[in-house]
Structures are given as structure tokens and as C-alpha cells.
Amino acid sequence: MLPKFSGRAFLAPMAGVSDPALRLQCKKMGAGLVVTEFTNIHSIIAKESQLKERMKTIQEFIEYSDEERPLSIQLFGSDLTALEKAAKIVEPYFDIIDYNMGCPAPHITQQMAGGALLQEVNLTQQIFSTLVNAVKKPITLKIRSGVTDTNKFLFREIAEIAEDEGIEMITLHPRTVSQGYSGTSDWDMIKELKEISSVPIVGNGDITTPEDAKNMIDNTNCDYVMIGRGAMGNPFLFEQINDYLKSNSYKEYTFKDRLDSFFDYLHLTDQYKIKFTNIKGQAMRFTKGMKGGSKLRSKITLSKNIKDLEKIMNDAYVSS
Ligand SMILES: Cc1cc2nc3c(=O)[nH]c(=O)nc-3n(C[C@H](O)[C@H](O)[C@H](O)COP(=O)(O)O)c2cc1C
């Protein structure tokens, strides 16, 4: 059974972005669910055996805190034996296991994973059944609408199979794999999925404001919304969406608030082994849209360590 979610807006899984510090920050700002970056099932198995030798658990590899709960881990990879093993390894630590069938990156689709699976109906059915039978925790699914424009409605069949096999919630990002991030997401597909499904549907794609979130809910009747790029460097969005859905108004935040919020993020990173390049990436995102932001980002790019970065961001804060 799915856990209870405290809000209708979820933070999307984003490789290199939705690290445990950003997830916690978004959770504190009202995200109803946060999801880890996608994780390779083979890496989970290999890491677990290395960690076991050192009497450590998989938490050393996939870092998180209990404050993020309910917490979903996203897996990718289609080898059924490995999938079963990886799901069993992570089950004790996470509240939901999400399966990735949307990633368009060629290095993922070429290994028959991510979005490429949408056209592999038999394998997909086996994947769902393997996951659902391997663990007791709820299994959810994240998909794109199809692979190319000619089969852009593959989601209909996949969703039906998913429900039959016991998948408990489906997130749809209604773009095809070959579309990447171009064009706009087709929210009518989310509406259609909601109409044909009996499990909760999470609508995803192009939400950057509280108004967008409300529009998606009103126009598609989806149960939840998921936000990726709009939440990058902008954890305030979750509070704003929750307020807007409740009372039609929300607090505006300034760029100074966003810089402040970057320092909160930085503080949270202390507890985790997040790569400095990823932290730098977050700094760039927290300054997006700021006056003088592009100059500031050139300086951020050149920073060599946390101390450098802190000074650059501090100077920007003082002069903003
Ligand atoms: C940098 C980046 C990394 C992403 N990584 C993942 C991932 O690990 N797993 C996944 O299912 N989707 C991933 N996505 C897709 C997002 O979860 C989301 O479906 C997509 O960005 C559309 O939502 P948005 O318009 O709100 O950004 C990623 C997107 C971006 C921009």
C-alpha cells in the first residue's frame, strides 16, 4: 500500500540534481514525495557486496535521511535476476520502489533500459511482475508517452499491464523518448491516462509555477503533480503550490531569498558525500534568472572548492 503523502506536489528524480540535500530541502518546503536519482540495479548489487565486507549497508551508497520520508528509490535496468536482487537489497530502507521507463539518454536506452522499454511489452510485463513479487513495498512506475512520434501512445498499453501486475502509482511525462526535452509535454495524455486508470496518476512536465500546477490538476484531474526543472534551485515552489491549491495565493520569494536558500542547501550537504561538481551545479541553478547571474555563474564555474564557492555566493548575497 502506498504511504500517505503530505502534499500533492512531488520532487522528480533528477540524476545529478535530486541529491539528499536538495531532496531534504524540498521536503521541508512541502514536497509530498521525493525520489532518489535513478540507480543502476547492477551497481546496487556490486556495492552491496563490497559494503557487506566492511559491515556497512547500502545506505553508504544511496544516501538519505529519515526526514525525507516517505522516500522513493528509483531503479533502472532490465535484467530480471538482477532486478529482483536489487529490489530486495533496497527494500528495507525505502518506502516505495519506483521503476524508470522514461530516461531518453542513449547510454541507458542502448542497454534496454529507461524509455526504450516502452516498446518491449513482454519484457515490461516480466519486469513489473518480478518487482511486485520480489518485495512487499509498493512499486510505482515513471514513463514517457512513447518512443517516437509514430508510437506516442504506448503509455496506454504499458499502463494497463502495469495495473494488472500490481503497480500502485504511475507518473507520466508526456513526451516521447525521441523528443528529449524539446517541444512541450502533452497534458491531454495525462488526462487520458487518468481516465483509463484506477491507480493514482502523477502528472509531470513543464510545471514551473503554482499556476501551472493548478492548471495541470484542473485540466487532467491527475492525483499528484511532479516537478523537475522548475524546482531546481527553487525549493520554494512546493510551499507556493501547496498554498495556491489551498487558498489561491502564495508568498513570493526574492533572489536574495534564493541565495539564502542556497546556503541552507550547502549546510545540508555537510552530512553527505555529494560531489563538488554537483554542488557547483546547484549553485548555478540557485542563481538562475538573477540580475548579474551570468557573471556570477562564470565565477562559480571557476571555483575549486566549497570555501571558494561560499565566498563567491556570500559576495553575491551582500551585493544583491
Ligand atoms: C538533469 C535531469 C536529470 C533527470 N534524471 C532523471 C532520473 O534520474 N530519473 C527519471 O525518471 N527522470 C529523470 N529526469 C526527468 C525528470 O524526472 C522529469 O520527468 C522531466 O524533467 C520533466 O519534468 P519537468 O518538466 O518538471 O522538468 C531528469 C531530468 C533532468 C532535467
- Phi/psi-derived region of residue 76, left when phi > 0, alpha when psi is between -120 and 50, beta in every other case: beta
Q: Which of 17, 14, 101, 94 is nearest to 62 (CA)?
A: 94
Which residue is listed with cell 502509482? 169
Q: In this predicted structure, what is the pLDDT of residue 73?
A: 98
State whether the beta carbon of 17 lies less than 6 angstroms from ligand 1.
Answer: yes
Which residue is listed with cell 487518468? 194
What residue owns the CA closest to ligand 1's atom 31?
Answer: 229
Residues 29 and 19 sit within 8 Å (Cβ to Cβ): no
Average pLDDT, the chain: 96
Residue 279 lies in a domain: yes
Enclosing domain of residue 264:
255-319
Average pLDDT over residues 232-245: 98
Preceding omega of 174 cis (within 30 degrees of 0):
no
Burial tier of 195 (Cβ tally within 10 Å: 0-12, 13-18, 19+): exposed
User: Do 210 and 262 belong together in one domain?
Assistant: no
User: Do 229 and 265 belong together in one domain?
Assistant: no
Average pLDDT over residues 248-252: 98
Roughly what angle, to the nearest 10 degrees, separates helices 187-196 and 210-220? 40
Residue 177 lies in a domain: yes
User: Do 32 and 107 belong together in one domain?
Assistant: yes
* Interval 269-293: pLDDT, tens: 999 999 999 999 999 999 998 888 9
Q: In this predicted structure, what is the pLDDT of residue 320?
A: 82
Q: How far is the CA of 12 from the centre of ligand 1 (A)?
A: 6
State whether the beta carbon of 145 lies less than 6 angstroms from ligand 1.
Answer: no
Q: How far is the CA of 38 from the centre of ligand 1 (A)?
A: 10
Q: In this predicted structure, what is the pLDDT of residue 189?
A: 98
What residue owns the CA closest to ligand 1's atom 20?
Answer: 228
User: Do 228 and 305 belong together in one domain?
Assistant: no
Ligand 1 atom nearest residue 208's Cα:
26
> How many domains does one find in the chain?
2
Name the residues annotated as catalytic. Answer: 103
Please tell me the chain's helix, strand, coil percentages from 3-state DSSP, rounded to the nearest 5.
50, 15, 35
Cell of 218: 484542473
State whether the beta carbon of 206 lies less than 6 angstroms from ligand 1.
Answer: yes
Q: In this predicted structure, what is the pLDDT of residue 309?
A: 97
State whether the beta carbon of 209 lies less than 6 angstroms from ligand 1.
Answer: no
Residue 2 lies in a domain: no
User: Do 224 and 269 belong together in one domain?
Assistant: no
Average pLDDT over residues 241-264: 96
Residue 15 lies in a domain: yes
User: Do 207 and 271 belong together in one domain?
Assistant: no
Residue 183 lies in a domain: yes
Q: How far is the CA of 56 from the centre of ligand 1 (A)?
A: 30
Q: In this predicted structure, what is the pLDDT of residue 319?
A: 86
Of 247, 269, 285, the residue at which a domain comes to its end is 247
State whether the beta carbon of 173 lies less than 6 angstroms from ligand 1.
Answer: yes
Of 247, 275, 299, the residue at which a domain comes to its end is 247
User: Do 172 and 23 belong together in one domain?
Assistant: yes
- Indicate if the pLDDT at residue 302 is higher than 90: yes
Residue 127 lies in a domain: yes
Q: Mention every residue, 6+ apart, whose C-beta is less than 8 A from residue 53.
A: none
User: Do 71 and 31 belong together in one domain?
Assistant: yes
Q: In this predicted structure, what is the pLDDT of residue 137?
A: 98
User: Do 86 and 161 belong together in one domain?
Assistant: yes
Burial tier of 1 (Cβ tally within 10 Å: 0-12, 13-18, 19+): exposed
* Interval 54-101: pLDDT, tens: 999 999 999 999 999 999 999 999 999 999 999 999 999 999 999 999
- Indicate if the pLDDT at residue 199 is higher than 90: yes
Of 217, 247, 277, the residue at which a domain comes to its end is 247
What residue owns the CA closest to ligand 1's atom 28?
Answer: 14
The answer to pTM > 0.95 is yes
Q: In this predicted structure, what is the pLDDT of residue 108?
A: 94
Q: How far is the CA of 247 from the centre of ligand 1 (A)?
A: 29
User: Do 275 and 211 belong together in one domain?
Assistant: no
User: Do 132 and 200 belong together in one domain?
Assistant: yes
Residue 1 lies in a domain: no
**DSSP reduced 3-state for 140:** strand
Q: What is the CATH number of the domain that holds 215?
A: 3.20.20.70
> Please, which pLDDT band fits residue 22 given cuts at 50, 70 and 90?
very high
Average pLDDT over residues 41-52: 95
User: Do 126 and 262 belong together in one domain?
Assistant: no
Ligand 1 atom nearest residue 37's Cα:
8
- Indicate if the pLDDT at residue 239 is higher than 90: yes
Percent of the chain exceeding pLDDT 70 equals 100
